């Protein structure tokens, strides 16, 4: 709760800083500072919380556990890392720099809500608080028509899915008379009310929009491609992970008891997502667009955490979310240094700048799930959760085949960097940026060797 | 009045909204269709609220209206921004511009 | 602790090599010799206190340990790795290499991966090293290989990657059948696998076998192999054919045979048929080859076919023979490649038609070629003989109804092997010199060292194989 | 049939008819007008359901504020012509079919749910401003505050998106 309040207050501060300060660099420094403060508040909240404690606030509308606080902390840290890595590119996007940073704080508020809601009203507000700023961020490059188009598309799709989400909530309310997600009484009934099933289906569809799962993924490539690149990085990572925590929280808290009736639907969605994301990513010529499709594919893997109902899946989601976020942020940070976003733009990077090529290799390895990187451990946890589920072996094997396909397009970047010749245009790297990239790459490897760092005992 | 009637009515409105969102090319009309969907939900919630004699659902409706208002504010701003550039709000034209 | 050092020293040497620009090859050689010393020590002390298993808690949540252990087979393969890598570094010392630091460092990284594969007694650790051995080789081939290197190595990478992912899913499944404490350790995996019902055993078998069959490679999963061997730099080809394929065989013996014994027995006929069909198929293709590297590549498929058939024959003798042959094949095929490399460097071509007359121009090379070829076709008194003899006896004794057929067809393959190998010797060493290169350079000191080391092994083990047999007997 | 039922059917027909009008009319201005009429019909339903506060808010917020905003934007863009471009008939058909199927499927699924009750016609006071206000500020004060966060971000959005960049 402290973090939610702090994030709101800091967002307002950030907004005013945007009015008062004109120098963009200063705004960036202020944003970094405020994010660090927010991270501090998160850590403080984590430390002051007793092990195993569950704090229920406002008549059980929020239940804050150590897990949710830990997740919030990780997301805040990821945002801080994001701002550190790409701050200089964020301030180049448009004129309203202070406002953009304020929007990040608002998105964090939404994330905090989604990690600890216990009432569907809070969930709904959390999703909207995450979504509306993202529509704005997508359209923030006003000189560029593609950005405006991305924004419009995102808005229409988002609003449409909100409508579906609300219908789902309403149907479930109609069947149970309850908005509190831990009080739904499905088990007491002799048979499952069809209204509940329809409601769950609507919720699945709506969340599929938010996390860009097939067949509701079609907006993703255009939106991610059109949005200003730094904001694409944010939407594809932290925005997506936040939607996932809401998804898993709702489905595993309240619908776990009727899981046999919806896991099959979700398993098919997962398979479709993996298929569409990976196969279409193969045919892309632009790395940015490839990353957009690969983010669909990665969402397919993250869906495993929702499909398989066990304590392991929450851990898997944390690891996957963080691993994917870090690696993708790293790739985007490198991408922003290049002038040409196609695969050919990477040609000969290893010769021209071995440092950039080296860190990119680590990020690519992580995304492709090569051992000793965080991405591998993430996939491992997900698959373990799914195998434990028992009847999902077909999905696991399909996912592994798709992971091999993903190696194909990820390795195209490596082939371009190391084995092709070219003269890539690179903008100058400052020492601090180098340091941060090294730090990110190290993080990827450390988490690949010791993933339990992300899951300390007692969360 | 059985609750089914309200259920059918609001689902009908909802599906008309879905149809509108799928059929039309004008971004504003699509947006209006989505508003129609939200209103269908509101109506259903109000009916359930009466059925369960629970005012929480009406509070929920209230919040849906709040969110809808916020979304409309942002949405219309985005639509106007797009219109300024291409002098059209036709989603098909936008798709064509991409290629 | 020795076991950890066996992995750690190549890693550290690789780090050093990477940053020592011009001196890279010497640093790498030094590091590999150090590793060789260690692996000899390990082989001598196998089964004693000095080579105690090493275990460290790593990821308790998923039951993974950093645990290493070496029995005779593992120590033998470590020894083989320890011998081959210095040999690899000895040849081609005069050839200028682009970015030598990275090149030699990657070779050492793959050595570390190989050592890890042989020593790991934890499934997840095994998987890690399995990939760690692959990735440096991928970079080596794609960066320093021949003209078609990029698509070819990519095919190789994707094949093996698919295989290893299949293996991963099987290992996860097995680990979940245990009680969760050290779920990934070899003992637990074996126990879990044995307890599985038949249906699940089949699935696990198929998943694991795919991974290993691609690596070995067994017909029909071999299609990546000839291209990859041809396009890689010869030094990398040696690592691939002498060591990497052993990973596949080793994995069959350690992670497949004990884990799903019933499914193994069920599938053995099928696999043996495939392997033996592969022998004949590869031999026939090898006879048509005019490219010397492709010829040796196909001959390697044929040899692997025989070894794989023996692995699945299920007799004690063939298992023993297999281990002996793993070592010997590693030595022999390395010898083959070393010679091929010398010939290729001197003639500047891989085309057999453009060679000839080596016996006159460079008799040293020709003699070495003849000796190694004899070992390769398993003539008595060479090391190849004892291994293949045990393999054949093992296959003959197997419980399969078709063991006579297998014997006969495999024997045919061996005869074909003699034919193409001797034809190759004849084309390279005798006849007219068609290359246009008249003054063929003699072997330099490094090459002499490499060749002599290999020939010593060929002859000593051919006459007196007992130390090897003793070593592999240690449990 | 008592007066409430007659009102129900009248409002229902009006709501569905006008909703179809929104989707089908070629002129965007007509669409807006139809939508406002739909909202009035829905407000009428709210009254029937004893949700007086919602009825008022619906008219003030939706019909009054939001739809005027829509109308304003449409006028600004001068879109009041009848020559509105249409999607090809195939796409339209697909839209109709998918919407209709969705409706039928849900109805088919839900109509089997027999545990649904009947809405009692006696008046209750849950929809009164006083009751709602107490519930809102006693139980739902957190969402109330959070909606201010939402509005703040929407406000920023409107500024960021709507303001003309002077370049």
Q: Which residues contact C421 (CB under 8 A, 6 or more apart)?
A: C299, C373, C376, C377
C127 touches chain A (CB under 8 A): yes
Task: Give the domain extent around C238.
Answer: 1-259
B58, B59, B82, B90: best mutation site toward chain A, by most A Cβ within 10 Å? Answer: B82
A452 touches chain C (CB under 8 A): yes
Would you call A22 helix, strand, or coil by DSSP? coil
**What is the reported pLDDT for D121?**
62
Angle in degrees, CA A32, A33, A35, rounded to 5: 65
- Cα–Cα distances in Å, from D22 out to A202, A449, B22, C36, D149? 24, 58, 13, 82, 32
* C and B interact (at least 3 Cβ pairs within 8 A): no
Task: Tell if the CB–CB gap between D147 and A109 is shorter than 8 Å.
Answer: no
Query: Which conformational region is residue C196 in: left (phi greater than 0), alpha (psi within -120 to 50 degrees), or beta?
Result: beta
Residue C300 lies in a domain: yes
D156, D164, D165: best mutation site toward chain A, by most A Cβ within 10 Å? Answer: D156
Q: Which residues contact A3 (CB under 8 A, 6 or more apart)?
A: A38, A41, A42, A45, A69, A72, A76, A112
Q: Give pLDDT tens digits for C333-345.
A: 999 999 888 888 8
Task: Tell if the CB–CB gap between A156 and B30 is shorter than 8 Å.
Answer: yes
What integer best gives the mean pLDDT of chain C? 86
Side-chain half-sphere exposure of C220, counting CA atoms within 13 A: 1
Contacts of C169 in chain A (CB under 8 A): 383, 387, 393, 396-397, 400
CB A123 within 8 A of CB A250: yes
**What is the reported pLDDT for A235?**
92
List the chains bordering chain A where 3 or more Cβ pairs fall under 8 Å: B, C, D
- Residue A173 is nearest to which of B3, B18, B57, comparing CB atoms? B57
Would you call C346 helix, strand, or coil by DSSP? helix
Which secondary structure element, helix H or strand E, spans residue D163, and what is its range? none
D139 touches chain B (CB under 8 A): yes
Residue C127 lies in a domain: yes
- DSSP per position, A63-97: EEEHHHHHHHHHHHHHHHHHHHHHHHHHTTT-S-H
Report the C-alpha gap between C168 and C163 in whole angstroms. 9
Number of domains composing chain C: 2
Report the C-alpha gap between D160 and C276 in whole angstroms. 72
Judged against a pLDDT cut of 50, whether residue B99 lies above it is answered with no
Dihedral of CA atoms C309, C314, C315, C320 in degrees, nearest 10, equals 60
Contacts of C207 in chain A (CB under 8 A): 397
**What is the reported pLDDT for A41?**
94
**What is the reported pLDDT for D85?**
62
B31 touches chain A (CB under 8 A): yes
Please indicate, yes or no, whether residues C135 and C75 belong to a single structural domain of this protein.
yes
Task: Tell if the CB–CB gap between A109 and D149 is shorter than 8 Å.
Answer: yes
Mean pLDDT (10-residue bins), chain A, 459 residues? 91 90 90 94 89 80 89 94 91 86 94 92 94 92 87 92 94 87 71 82 93 88 90 93 93 85 90 93 90 92 90 88 94 88 86 89 92 90 85 87 90 87 84 91 92 80
A152 touches chain B (CB under 8 A): yes
**What is the reported pLDDT for C353?**
82
Ranges of H-type helices in B1-99: 3-23, 27-52, 56-86, 91-98
CB C398 within 8 A of CB C468: no
Scanning D17-36 for CB atoms below 8 A from B yields 19-20, 22-23, 28, 31-32, 35
Please indicate, yes or no, whether residues C253 and C228 belong to a single structural domain of this protein.
yes
B45 touches chain D (CB under 8 A): no
Please indicate, yes or no, whether residues C366 and C440 belong to a single structural domain of this protein.
yes
Question: What is the phi/psi pair of residue A313, to 5°?
Answer: -70, -30
Q: How many CB pairs below 8 Å do chains B and D form together?
A: 224
**Weakest-pLDDT range from C102-106, C241-245, C432-436, D27-31:** C432-436
**What is the reported pLDDT for B95?**
66
Report the C-alpha gap between A36 and B18 in whole angstroms. 44
Q: Which residues contact A80 (CB under 8 A, 6 or more apart)?
A: A32, A35, A36, A39
Output b/e per residue, C89-103; b: 16+ Cβ within 10 A: bbbbeeeebebbbbb
Report the C-alpha gap between B17 and D23 in whole angstroms. 7
Judged against a pLDDT cut of 70, whether residue B97 lies above it is answered with no
Question: What residue of A is the nearest CA neighbor of B35?
Answer: A163
Scanning D40-99 for CB atoms below 8 A from B yields 42, 45-46, 48-51, 53-54, 57-58, 61-62, 65-66, 69-70, 73-74, 76-77, 79, 84-87, 91-92, 94-96, 98-99
Please indicate, yes or no, whether residues C72 and C120 belong to a single structural domain of this protein.
yes
Contacts of B14 in chain A (CB under 8 A): 163, 167
Q: Six-digit token pair at C58?
A: 């790593």
Q: Give pLDDT tens digits for C14-30.
A: 888 888 877 888 888 88
Report the C-alpha gap between C302 and C415 in whole angstroms. 11
Residue C264 lies in a domain: no
- C178 pLDDT band, cuts 50/70/90, is confident
Angle in degrees, CA A441, A444, A450, rounded to 5: 140
Residue C453 lies in a domain: yes
Nearest C-alpha of chain D: how many angstroms from B93?
A: 10
Judged against a pLDDT cut of 80, whether residue D123 lies above it is answered with no
CB B30 within 8 A of CB D31: no
Residue A8 CA to chain centroid, in angstroms? 21
Question: What residue of C is the nearest CA neighbor of A455?
Answer: C61
Q: Give pLDDT tens digits for C76-99.
A: 999 999 999 998 888 877 777 888
Q: Which residues contact B63 (CB under 8 A, 6 or more apart)?
A: A121, A124, A125, D143, D147
Which is more confidently placed, B25 or D166? B25
Nearest C-alpha of chain A: how many angstroms from D82?
A: 23
Report the C-alpha gap between C75 and C93 in whole angstroms. 29
Q: Is the CATH number of domain B3-98 1.10.287.3510?
A: yes
Sequence-distant contacts of C185-190: CB under 8 A, at least 24 apart: C185/C63, C185/C65, C185/C67, C185/C121, C185/C122, C185/C123, C186/C69, C186/C121, C186/C122, C186/C123, C186/C254, C186/C255, C188/C63, C189/C123, C189/C255, C189/C259, C190/C258, C190/C259
Report the C-alpha gap between A381 and B85 in whole angstroms. 47
The closest alpha carbon to C305, from C393, C385, C395, belongs to C395
Would you call A274 helix, strand, or coil by DSSP? helix
Q: Which residues contact C220 (CB under 8 A, 6 or more apart)?
A: C274, C278
B86 touches chain D (CB under 8 A): no
Report the C-alpha gap between C205 and C207 in whole angstroms. 5
CB A367 within 8 A of CB A420: no
Radius of gyration of chain A (CA): 21
Please indicate, yes or no, whether residues C320 and C411 belong to a single structural domain of this protein.
yes
Partners of residue C54 on adjacent β-strands: C68
Task: Tell if the CB–CB gap between D45 and B90 is shorter than 8 Å.
Answer: no
CB A364 within 8 A of CB A331: yes
Which is more confidently placed, B6 or D80? B6
- DSSP per position, A366-410: HHHT-TTSHHHHHHHHHHHHHHHHSTTHHHHHHHHHHHHHHHHHH
Would you call B26 helix, strand, or coil by DSSP? strand
Percent of chain D whose pLDDT exceeds 70: 86
């Amino acid at each position: 709760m402290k973090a939610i309040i702090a994030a709101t207050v800091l967002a307002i501060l950030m907004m005013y800083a945007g009015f008062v300060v004109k120098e963009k660099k200063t705004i960036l420094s202020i944003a970094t500072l405020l994010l660090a403060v927010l991270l501090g508040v998160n850590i403080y909240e984590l430390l002051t919380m007793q092990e195993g404690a569950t704090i229920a606030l406002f008549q059980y509308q929020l239940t804050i556990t150590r897990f949710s606080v830990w997740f919030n902390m990780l997301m805040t840290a990821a945002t801080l890392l994001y701002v550190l890595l790409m701050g200089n590119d964020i301030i180049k996007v448009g004129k309203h720099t202070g406002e953009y940073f304020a929007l990040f704080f608002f998105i964090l508020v939404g994330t905090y809500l989604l990690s600890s809601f216990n009432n569907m009203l809070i969930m709904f507000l959390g999703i909207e608080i995450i979504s509306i700023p993202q529509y704005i961020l997508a359209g923030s490059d006003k000189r560029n028509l593609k950005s405006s188009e991305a924004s419009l598309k995102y808005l229409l799709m988002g609003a449409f899915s909100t409508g579906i989400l609300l219908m789902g909530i309403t149907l479930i309310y109609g069947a149970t008379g309850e908005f509190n997600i831990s009080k739904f009484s499905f088990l007491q009934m002799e048979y499952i009310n069809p209204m509940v099933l329809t409601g769950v289906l609507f919720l699945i569809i709506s969340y599929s929009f938010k996390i860009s799962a097939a067949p509701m993924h079609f907006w993703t490539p255009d939106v991610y491609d059109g949005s200003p690149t730094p904001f694409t990085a944010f939407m594809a990572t932290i925005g997506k992970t936040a939607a996932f925590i809401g998804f898993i929280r709702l489905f595993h808290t309240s619908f776990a008891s009727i899981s046999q009736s919806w896991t099959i639907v979700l398993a098919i969605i997962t398979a479709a997502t993996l298929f569409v994301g990976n196969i279409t990513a193969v045919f892309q010529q632009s790395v940015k667009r490839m990353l957009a499709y690969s983010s669909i594919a990665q969402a397919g893997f993250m869906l495993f955490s929702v499909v398989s109902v066990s304590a392991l899946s929450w851990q898997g989601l944390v690891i996957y979310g963080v691993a994917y976020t870090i690696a993708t942020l790293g790739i985007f940070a490198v991408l922003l240094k290049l002038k040409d976003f196609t695969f050919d733009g990477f040609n000969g990077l290893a010769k021209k700048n071995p440092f950039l090529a080296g860190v990119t290799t680590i990020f690519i390895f992580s995304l492709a799930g090569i051992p000793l990187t965080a991405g591998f451990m993430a996939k491992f946890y997900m698959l373990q959760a799914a195998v434990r589920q028992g009847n999902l072996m077909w999905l696991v094997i399909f996912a592994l085949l798709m992971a091999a396909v993903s190696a194909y397009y990820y390795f195209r970047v490596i082939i371009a960097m190391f084995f092709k010749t070219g003269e890539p245009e690179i903008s100058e790297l400052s020492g601090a940026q180098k340091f941060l990239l090294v730090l990110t790459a190290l993080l990827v490897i450390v988490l690949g060797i010791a993933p339990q760092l992300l899951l300390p005992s007692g969360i | 009045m059985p609750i089914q009637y309200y259920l059918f009515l609001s689902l009908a409105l909802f599906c008309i909204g879905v149809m509108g969102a799928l059929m039309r090319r004008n971004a504003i009309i699509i947006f209006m269709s989505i508003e129609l969907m939200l209103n269908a939900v509101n109506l259903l919630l109000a009916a359930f609220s009466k059925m369960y004699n629970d005012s929480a659902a009406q509070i929920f409706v209230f919040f849906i209206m709040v969110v809808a208002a916020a979304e409309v504010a942002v949405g219309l701003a985005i639509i106007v921004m797009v219109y300024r550039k291409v002098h059209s709000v036709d989603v098909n034209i936008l798709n064509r511009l991409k290629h | 602790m020795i076991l950890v050092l066996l992995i750690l020293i190549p890693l550290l040497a690789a780090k050093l090599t990477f940053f020592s620009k011009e001196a890279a090859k010497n640093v790498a050689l030094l590091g590999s010799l150090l590793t060789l010393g260690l692996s000899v020590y390990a082989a001598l002390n196998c089964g004693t206190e000095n080579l105690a298993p090493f275990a460290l808690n790593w990821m308790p949540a998923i039951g993974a340990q950093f645990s290493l252990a070496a029995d005779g087979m593992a120590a033998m393969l470590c020894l083989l790795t320890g011998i081959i890598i210095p040999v690899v570094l000895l040849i081609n010392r005069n050839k200028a290499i682009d970015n030598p630091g990275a090149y030699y460092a990657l070779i050492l990284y793959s050595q570390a991966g190989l050592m890890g594969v042989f020593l790991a007694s934890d499934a997840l650790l095994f998987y890690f090293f399995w990939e760690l051995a692959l990735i440096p080789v991928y970079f080596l081939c794609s960066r320093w290989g021949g003209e078609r290197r990029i698509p070819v190595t990519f095919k190789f990478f994707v094949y093996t990657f698919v295989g290893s992912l299949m293996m991963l899913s099987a290992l996860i499944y097995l680990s979940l059948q245990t009680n969760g404490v050290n779920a990934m350790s070899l003992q637990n995996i074996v126990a879990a696998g044995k307890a599985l019902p038949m249906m699940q055993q089949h699935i696990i078998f198929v998943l694991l076998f795919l991974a290993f069959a691609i690596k070995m490679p067994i017909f029909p999963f071999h299609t990546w192999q000839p291209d990859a061997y041809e396009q890689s730099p010869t030094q990398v080809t040696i690592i691939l054919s002498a060591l990497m394929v052993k990973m596949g065989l080793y994995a069959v013996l350690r992670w497949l045979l004990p884990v799903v014994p019933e499914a193994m027995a069920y599938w053995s006929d099928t696999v043996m048929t495939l392997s033996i069909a592969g022998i004949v198929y590869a031999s026939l293709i090898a006879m048509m080859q005019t490219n010397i590297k492709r010829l040796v590549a196909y001959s390697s498929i044929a040899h692997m076919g025989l070894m794989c058939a023996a692995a699945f024959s299920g007799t004690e003798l063939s298992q023993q023979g297999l281990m002996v042959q793993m070592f010997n094949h590693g030595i022999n095929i390395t010898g083959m490649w070393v010679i091929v490399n010398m010939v290729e460097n001197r003639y500047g071509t891989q085309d057999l038609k453009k060679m000839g007359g080596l016996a006159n121009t460079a008799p040293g090379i020709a003699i070495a070629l003849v000796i190694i070829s004899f070992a390769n076709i398993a003539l008595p008194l060479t090391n190849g003989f004892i291994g293949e003899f045990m393999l054949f006896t093992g296959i003959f004794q197997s419980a399969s109804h078709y063991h006579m057929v297998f014997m006969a067809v495999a024997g045919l393959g061996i005869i074909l092997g003699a034919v193409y190998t001797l034809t190759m010797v004849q084309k390279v060493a005798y006849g007219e010199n068609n290359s246009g290169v008249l003054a063929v350079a003699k072997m330099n000191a490094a090459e002499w060292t490499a060749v002599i080391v290999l020939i010593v092994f060929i002859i000593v083990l051919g006459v007196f194989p007992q130390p090897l047999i003793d070593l592999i007997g240690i449990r | 049939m008592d007066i409430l039922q007659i009102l129900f059917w009248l409002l229902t027909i009006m709501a569905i008819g006008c909703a179809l009008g929104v989707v089908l009319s070629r002129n965007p201005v007509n669409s807006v007008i139809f939508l406002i009429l739909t909202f009035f019909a829905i407000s009428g339903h709210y009254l029937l359901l004893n949700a007086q506060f919602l009825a008022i808010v619906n008219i003030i917020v939706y019909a009054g504020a939001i739809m005027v905003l829509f109308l304003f934007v449409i006028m600004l863009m001068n879109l009041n012509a009848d020559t509105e471009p249409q999607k090809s008939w195939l796409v339209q058909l697909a839209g109709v079919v998918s919407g209709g199927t969705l409706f039928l499927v849900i109805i088919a699924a839900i109509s089997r749910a027999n545990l649904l009750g009947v809405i009692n016609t006696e008046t209750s006071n849950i929809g009164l401003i006083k009751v709602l206000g107490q519930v809102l500020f006693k139980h739902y004060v957190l969402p109330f505050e959070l909606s201010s966060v939402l509005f703040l971000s929407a406000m920023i959005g409107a500024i960021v998106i709507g303001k003309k960049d002077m370049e």
